[in-house]
Structure 1
Amino acid sequence: MGMTVGMVFLLWSMNVFIKAVGLGNSSCSGAAAVCGNVTIPYPFGIEPGCYIDDSFAIDCNNTLGSPKPFLRRLDLEVLDISLEGTLRVNYPMSSWCPMSGTEIAPNVSLASSPFVFSKLRNIFVSIGCDNLAYALSSDVSNSSLRSIYGGCMSVCEKGAIQSNGSSCNGIGCCKTTIASDLDVFTTRIQSTIPFKRTEDCNYASLVDQKWFEENLTNHFEVRKMSLVPVVLNWEINANLSSLVMETNSSHSTCRFANGSSLLGNMSTTFTCTCNSGFEGNPYLVDGCQDIDECANLEVCSFYNLRYPCVNVLGGYYCDPVSDHKSRNKIIIIGISTGFGLLFLFIGGWWSYKLVKKRKNIKRKEKFFKRNGGLLLQQQLSSSEMAVEKTTKLFNSKELEKATVIDEGKLKEFINEVVILSQINHRNVVKLLGCCLEIEVPLLVYEFIPNGTLSQYLYDQNEEFPATWDMRLQIATEVAGALFYLHSAASTPIYHRDIKTTNILLDDKYKAKVADFGPSRSIVVDQTHLTTVVQGTFGYLDPEYFQSSQFTEKSDVYSFGVVLVELLTGEKAISSTRTKECRSLATYLIHSMEENNLFDIIDARVMKDAKQEEIIAVANLAKMCLNLNRKERPIMKEVAKQLEAIQTLQKTPNVQQTYEEVKYVRTEMYEQWDDVSTSTMLGANSGLASSSGSRPLLSF
């Protein structure tokens, strides 16, 4: 409390003193002086008594032909002064020439002055090749007391891109900020390459950032300059506050701050600004004048109507509309404009929707025709089955998720729709319909949640492992589906691309044969199709590959590969196997011939299945993979054999199923009387009986 009263008394005493002595020379009018093209506002001044302190005294020097202002105490040329607390001066550059050893390092100290080098407005710049420049404290006599305020390094490597004036990126030119507002510093320049000798000189200095980045067409122009613009911050010593308090009014505000960073003596400094709505010099008596906002024609203008503007001290207001006619006019204009915009919006929206609807109709018709819709309708209508009961033509709005068909496979797309419309089997994926009214046609299938057989085999999880029971069930179901396609369907259908990725698993892990794009239907008496070879390598019938003739036995070969995948858990083609056994079909046959069948069987199968079951399925797969298609079984026989193996597996009493299995085996032998005895043998000589003859199942 006592300190506060003492401070107030001190300020009051200084104020009374200044009032008694006046503000200086009565001849000083307070108007800003001019030297050359630079305006000198108070607290700076040229004439005695026209500046607040000797530190703010300006000398107008005419010796160079045109008047130029200089700070009297610092002998720095003033470029401009701002009442916001900054001024720009010309500051000498530092340079170093390695060849001559000449070094110029000017050291202008702002200590004990109201000025500091601005941290925010200046940057430290260095121009030259292989150059390290930095600003450090002026106490260079004691190296332990030196402080580096900032520095940067520039290089000129061979082939490097030189700075082109629009950037200072470290190639021939570098820049950085300084750590804080400084009152004194020394610049040091040295080469990054020891004992380098070159005729080019290197330069460094603080410089006004805005001037450096905006006014120079090329940064290397700085090398031709001995002086560059630098921004100084200035504040007034608190000891002179009474001089300003005499002038201070409600139109300006002076704020005090700790000036230790400026003056270094823990004294305080302050600056003044005009309040909002005022402009001018806050350091002069009545220096802050009211701004006439009403001089701006945009003030109080609304919807092309200009209302009376009343200027008041520090602001303005718009006079309320008193004329009822003007008010009514505004209301009418507003309502009319609103209704007009509303009707315009409604009309435009309706027109847009109408045009869009017609465009969509034409677009759907175009896509329907282009995607083979007419051809599909013709083929479905000529089919013996009722189109309404088998396949639906969806429109685009009825589909949210569907399978996208490649536009380049349009014929396969139409073929798949026609084929699937003839099929009704629990182990064949059901086609719900198709959509032809969009750019790329869509097929809509029943949802099959558990992915493909390939994923089930090769991406197994512990919750639903691929047990032997599951594998045998899937094989039996796929065989039944293929038997249906070959024999029981209204028209025989060859799938032409049987593989594990085209076998889907539903929620109960029941098999669903899918992807009928390459499939073909044939007339009943036709035995084969002659087509361009199509299918998946590893599953492709070798005879079909050579002759281009596809028969039902070609599907049998592909199914044989699937059987081997179920037995071994390996993919149809693998680069990890030897070159001659990269094909899984060859791998199985080779292993059986070398008496190594059980070495390639999947560990899970070996754990779950009986050896006779494995041998039976392996023999069946081997027959399906016979290179001579005539010696392969048909799918009906394959399906019955798998059903027999599955029945044997599920029946505890083997004798119960002996007659059924014997019947199946006898029927197969009767139909394959041309097949060599070796094909019907066990997996290999080690697995066969000593008599050299063994059926697929033995009891």
Structure 2
Amino acid sequence: MATLQLQTVALAVLLLRLTPETPASAQQLSGCPDKCGDISIPYPFGIGASCALDSGFELECNHTNSPPRLIVSTHRQQLTGLSLADGEAIALLNAKRECYNSTYQDFNKNDESTASIMNLTGSTTYRFSAARNRFVALGCPNLGYFIDSTQCYVSGCTSVCRPAHWGSVKLGMCTGVGCCQSKIPPYIDLFEPYMLSFNRGERYTKFYDNTTTCRYVFLVEDKWIEKTYRDYVDYNRTDNFAVPVVLDWAVRSIGNCSAARHNRTGYACRGAHSDCFDIRDSEGYRCRCSKGYQGNPYLDGGCTDIDECRRKDEYPCYGVCRNLPGNYTCECPPETSGDATKKDGCRKKDRFTLALKVVTGISVGVFLSVFMCFWLYLGIQKRKLITTKQTFFEQNGGVLLQHQMCSGGGTGGFRIFSTEELEKATNSFAADRVLGRGGHGIVYKGVLEDKTVVAIKKSKMMEETQTNEFAREMFILSQLNHRNVVKLLGCCLEVEVPMLVYEYVSNGTLYHYIHGKDSKAAESAEALSYMHSSASPPILHGDVKTANILLDDKLNAKVSDFGASKLAPTDEAEIATMVQGTCGYLDPEYIMTCQLTDKSDVYSFSVVLLELLTRKKALYLDGSEESRSLVSSFTKAVKTGCHRELLDSQVRKEMTAEMLKEIVHLLMRGLSMNGEERPTMKEVADRLEMLRRYQQHPWAQAEGSPEENQSLLGMEQWSVNFQYRQQDVLDLEEGSTYMFSL
């Protein structure tokens, strides 16, 4: 009894679910009832002939029952629900029942007249839904089936029992143990159920263990089976019950939409925004409101616009919603952009307009193209620069110099600089870094990365012969180490004319200090003597002058500028193709022979010594044409005995007659036109050192006899008659460089 009560309650709940609430589309013709009890009746259905589209849609409302029952007029089926949108009607059908006693004899059947049979034969409106209905045989053993209007078998299934000692089985699927189900084919218009019994016997004992009292067969909605028998249930029931059956309905008076549109009088889709669509599984058509509209498409004006803005759940909009006929817009608020149908989809508007983006994109594209071309150009130029630097480096003997530096022992701090290092040291050779300018080039003050202050000489030109010997000469010059020689720290070979890096000497040149109290001539002579006698091979300066004698912070003299320097020739036939030097200091024999010798430096130094004694320039323009050359003026004065007047007043005051005689003698030898008659630089240095000591000796301060003075000087008085011809005197303009090519 408890099981029967539960099944009855479940059926009642299901019937309530199948009775829909009145939807907005349940509209009816004017003056026609739109409900029967709680069941809504939308047109084309109607109670009475005048309220229905045709006889197939005519219904009756039986008020003798409570609640009232809705009956199909033509076939007398009871309906519990109608749906315009799904094209379905829910009808009630009694399950066919047979019960048995202990001897398995029939003792109770339900009324078989029409209660369990549903006949749709001849209906132009309804068909059994093949998709939504299932044939069910309940109880065991049970073989159920049904036939159609031709009395032929349509579908069926077999339900068997299981022994009780096998325990409970999960029977919710209704798959053949206590309950079975099967699908039905389409186009069925009659449901007439039957059950077959199994004969008791030894062959069928397995079918009779744990049998049910009653057996049932019925056609039912698929959802009813899923809901009723989805859990552990007892299929052993004995009551009568009705089940819902789904009927598909359509307008079947005309085959399809195409034919119906040609017959506008009977065309059922009346609404202005109504669409027609064909039924997939059978003949006929149905109507529906167009997208964006709702209501009853079978009535004139039955489809009304949907206000999507009021249905946030169906049509989400997080911006500004505007309803339109059959549609709506959802836009982001002003000053924002994005997708307003998504939460947080609207963001602050990008003021970067499409046109501006296009222009910017084109501009960026052009810029990138130009940049790439420029970058490629820079790359090519950089490669050319690297190649050019490497070419100059090899031409200037860089490979040879590196080899000599690696294999020749210590280099005394000498190194090869890159152009980048020297440019950085001089601030790209800025004008405010210039220390001096000369005939051979410009000297810049530089500061290396280690804060060492240097002087960098940027030469203007160099002979081809010098280029060939440059590396060897640089290596030899780097070995010079004398307190009175400016130290060569390195060179740069990556340019056409190599740059030289010297130690920085802070107090300028002897030329600018020539009016001071200490001439520093002896120190300069020692430096040149060292280059001629101690260097290996000997080095010839080639451009000795006061401007190339520097003074350090302690006023020590240092010979500098080896721009015209040469290694002493190993072959007497070796001569230069171009004479280099400074006018006023050039050896006349060098000008005529183009062969630089150690005696050429002696001549130039003699001019420096003469310039120091007279404090006059080697060449000056404030006299007559005959007296522009200091050498010429001095030799003429010696010839006439007036040379003392040419000396600086302070020199005349401090120098004794004997010292003056010795100095004049030394000068005249050094200025000789014939190089062989000149003393060596060692002799000059020794003599100057002796004169310096003599001047500092206390005896030299007192008047002594000529014999005593000669003894102090350590030499016999020379008696030399210096004869100079007028053409031997060179009259050269100040500051120019005399060049003589073979």
Query: TM (normalized to structure 1)?
Result: 0.42
Larger Rg: 2
Task: Please state which structure has a larger fraction of its residues in helix.
Answer: 1
- When normalised by structure 2's length, the TM-score is 0.40
